[in-house]
Amino acid sequence: MAFVNQLEPDGLLGHFERHPPQGFTPVRAADSAPLFVAPFDLLTTADDDLRRRVDASPFRGWLRRSLTLRTCFAGTTVSEYALFDARHDPAAVPRAWAHAQGRRQPLFIVKDIALDSPLTSPAERAWTARFVDAARDAGYVMVEGQALAYVPIDFASIDEYLARLSSSRRKNLRRKLRSRDGLQVDEVPTGPAFADDAVVDAFYALFENVHAQSDIHFDKPTREFFAAVLRDAGGLVFTYRVNGELIGWNLCYEHAGKLLDKYVGFAYPAARDADLYFVSWFVNLEYALRRGLSHYVAGWTDPAVKASLGARFHLTRHAVYVRNPLLRVVLRRFAHRFEAESAWGASDAIADRS
């Protein structure tokens, strides 16, 4: 069963429920929507100034512990958006969720709500809008979420795509893309190619390299999750080698007319030397163009870099229900300190920021 705002194949959601990140417990709401429970550091998405203030405090240890709460989230860590069961009334779901989850955890967050998303259908957008209105009425605090990067495939060639960028940006990208001549690029379907444990280990090690250098850590997919995902048919892995040595990979899904970019792994410094981040972006665009897809969905991280590559952005919303009424008032007062990516949702146009 496909959920409202589901972009991913069902199989990926199933792997999350069977192999969740360490410390995460997947559950289902009474209406069958996917949820999970996990410890949540409230500073994860706070602005830099607030984080610096906490870290500079003589009580930072106590503050950090106090700001990490057992939290129930609506959604999954493998789906771009919060997912809902369309068979239920969106006007009734928020209050039912708050009643059920508010008794169990101090914090309940409907993460990454796809309000007015260009990637969902008109019916899904209408359902979601009614849910958001009802959530406000039920006492949820609405907070701006993350900026999801995407590219409409509305161009006939990569040259046409590049022509939309500034001349300085085009020149810089063409220089970076020269490294592709020294790369062996292959498209490897998930499945039997990953049967060997040593192969999974090698791919997971490159993922861990990327995870380790990330500024924000919310979850870390396990090796068991990657083994299941890589061995299950339906995905496509772009691999990048230099002289036969694997220096990077990118797991994508072609689903419902879109190319979904999900996970990457890089070997440093070789991947940086080959400008692999930029090369892989255009390899994915070429694939989407060749397959006649409508969108390339590039994920949440690195909005500044993705803007320079011509991405557009959809800013999601989080609906936050705080069990304690006093803390709910405090959250309303300071919600803006947790909206660090709001600038990326200011325009639904191609951003060309150097």
Q: Are 135 and 21 in the same domain? A: yes
In a domain, 128, yes or no: yes
- What distance in Å separates the CA atoms of residue 168 and residue 81, rounded to the nearest whole number? 34
Q: Are 17 and 119 in the same domain? A: yes
Whether residue 237 contacts residue 39, with contact meaning beta carbons closer than 8 Å, is answered with no
Q: Are 30 and 55 in the same domain? A: yes
pTM: 0.86
Whats the size of the chain, residue-wise?
A: 354
- Which runs of E-coded beta strand occur in the chain? 25-28, 34-41, 68-74, 107-113, 141-152, 184-189, 236-242, 245-255, 258-266, 295-299, 312-322
Q: Please list the pLDDT of the chain residue by residue as tens digits (354 residues).
A: 689 999 999 999 999 999 999 989 999 999 999 999 988 766 555 555 655 665 666 655 555 555 667 889 999 999 999 999 999 999 999 999 999 987 788 889 999 999 999 999 999 999 999 999 999 999 898 888 889 999 999 999 999 999 999 999 999 999 999 999 999 999 999 999 999 999 999 999 999 999 988 766 678 999 999 999 999 999 999 999 999 999 999 999 999 999 999 999 999 999 999 999 999 999 999 999 999 999 999 998 888 899 999 999 999 999 999 875 545 544 554 444 344 444 444 444 333 333
Whether residue 259 contacts residue 295, with contact meaning beta carbons closer than 8 Å, is answered with yes
- What distance in Å separates the CA atoms of residue 326 and residue 333, rounded to the nearest whole number? 11
- pLDDT of 76 reads 94
Q: Are 269 and 339 in the same domain? A: no
> What CATH number is associated with residue 203?
3.40.630.30
Q: Are 140 and 173 in the same domain? A: no
The number of distinct structural domains making up the chain is 2
In a domain, 214, yes or no: yes
Residue range(s) defining the domain that contains residue 35: 10-147+314-345
